[in-house]
Amino acid sequence: MVDDVTDLYTEFGDERLPPGQQLTDGFPVLSKGGTPAADPSEWRIEVFGAVEETLAFSLAEFRALPSETQRQDFHCVTGWSKFDCQFTGVSFPTLAERAGVDGAASHVMFHAADGYTTDLPLADCMREEVLLAYGYDGESLPADHGGPLRVVTPHKYAYKGAKWVTGVEFLTEREPGYWEQRGYSSTADPWNEERYG
């Protein structure tokens, strides 16, 4: 069963396509550098920081967690959007519940295999639409799109969804991530065109 969450835009704006965006039928590949070599059999993801229990999963263990498939829209800060992407993965709230979030936690930092980081307020992560995705359109997530595991954030510009994610760190205060340190918006709301800080 596929859960269609493409109507979430009604919470943020009047139009499904955010202002300043152009629809694309393709799925462009944008990253801060090249695609890191990732052997799925050796992949690990850790959940740590302000949590009751530090967690670590192999890819097989992570894929065994309760999962869901969602139809989402994808908005790149560079000005393109792709509608009706089908992602399969573990919702952020599911992962947070397993770790037990400390009451002092307020932000989340996502860490990636290529050294990339990006941060979001905890409240923006605790949505069912925020997935740690390992599947795309019924197949394993391609490496150039962040496979074996990436974060998708359909209510934010896509730089908030780290590719090749290896760590989820719960923070008690905000720390800016890679692009946020370089002037990009910390809030990244596409319907308000929050591209830069």
| Residue 94 included in any domain | yes
| Residue 33 included in any domain | no
Put simply, whether the predicted model's pTM sits higher than 0.75 gets the answer yes
| Residue 155 included in any domain | yes
CATH assignment at residue 163: 3.90.420.10
| Residue 23 included in any domain | yes
pLDDT at 26: 76
| Residue 141 included in any domain | yes
Q: Which domain holds residue 77?
A: 2-27+39-192
Distance of alpha carbon 91 from alpha carbon 99, whole angstroms: 13
Q: By three-state DSSP, how is residue 86 classified?
A: strand
| Residue 13 included in any domain | yes
Strands 80-91 and 68-75: antiparallel
Cβ atoms of 71 and 7 closer than 8 Å: no
Instruction: Provide the domain count of the chain.
Output: 1
pLDDT at 34: 66
| Residue 32 included in any domain | no
Along the chain (197 residues), what's the average pLDDT of each consecutive run of 10 residues? 96 97 80 68 94 97 97 96 97 98 97 95 97 96 91 97 96 96 95 93
